[in-house]
Amino acid sequence: MRTGLSLSARQWEKMRRHVTGCAPLEACGLLAGKGCRVESVFFVANAAQSPVRFRMDPQEQLKTFNQIEARGLELVGIFHSHPAGPERPSPTDVAEAAYPVVHLIWFVDGEAWRARGFWIEAGRVSEVDLYILRSE
Ligand code: ZN
């Protein structure tokens, strides 16, 4: 189990713009890196095209997994957005969590988009710390 994940401010902003641009539909993607450090952010199309669910396009997901492997990185996180809330994993997210990685949930807090990180294992959810590094 991981207790934290570090991202650069640039990666954070890249994700934020993507989830904002996809709203009111849910957006999703993959985070590749090493250990607790994110090195690359990948967007994956939401095949469900829904405001309340996501399902990664299988072909894009496979292509991204191949790119991650080709770069010598590992999958360290999965992100998706909840344009209509909640600010934590939904029961469906918990039931469908298939990878032992940090799950980032983007949500709207008033006017601002924020994200929280969670570890989901065997139906249990615990929050993990997200560290935004100011410079690279
Ligand atoms: Zn969700």
Is-catalytic flag, 26?
A: yes
Domain total in the chain: 1
Distance 65 CA to ligand 1 centre (A): 21
pTM of the model: 0.95
What residues pair up with 115 in beta bridges, in sequence order? 106
Q: Quote the CA–CA distance of 75 and 56 in Å, as a whole number.
A: 15
Q: Residue 108 and residue 117: Cα distance in Å, rounded?
A: 15
Catalytic, out of 26, 60, 69, 96: 26
pLDDT at residue 3, rounded to an integer: 82
Q: How far is the CA of 85 from the centre of ligand 1 (A)?
A: 8
Contacts of 57-64 spanning 24+ positions with Cβ under 8 A? 61/30, 64/30
C-alpha 135 – ligand 1 centre gap (Å): 30
**77 Cα to the center of ligand 1, angstroms:** 14
Residues near ligand 1 ion, CB 5 Å cutoff: 90, 93
Give pLDDT, residue 118.
97
Tens digits of pLDDT across the chain (136 residues): 778 999 999 999 999 999 999 999 999 999 999 999 999 999 999 999 999 999 999 999 999 999 999 999 999 999 999 999 999 999 999 999 989 999 999 999 998 999 999 999 989 999 999 999 986 5
Domain carrying residue 118: 4-133
Q: What CATH number corresponds to the domain at position 38?
A: 3.40.140.10
C-alpha of residue 62 to centroid of ligand 1, in Å: 20
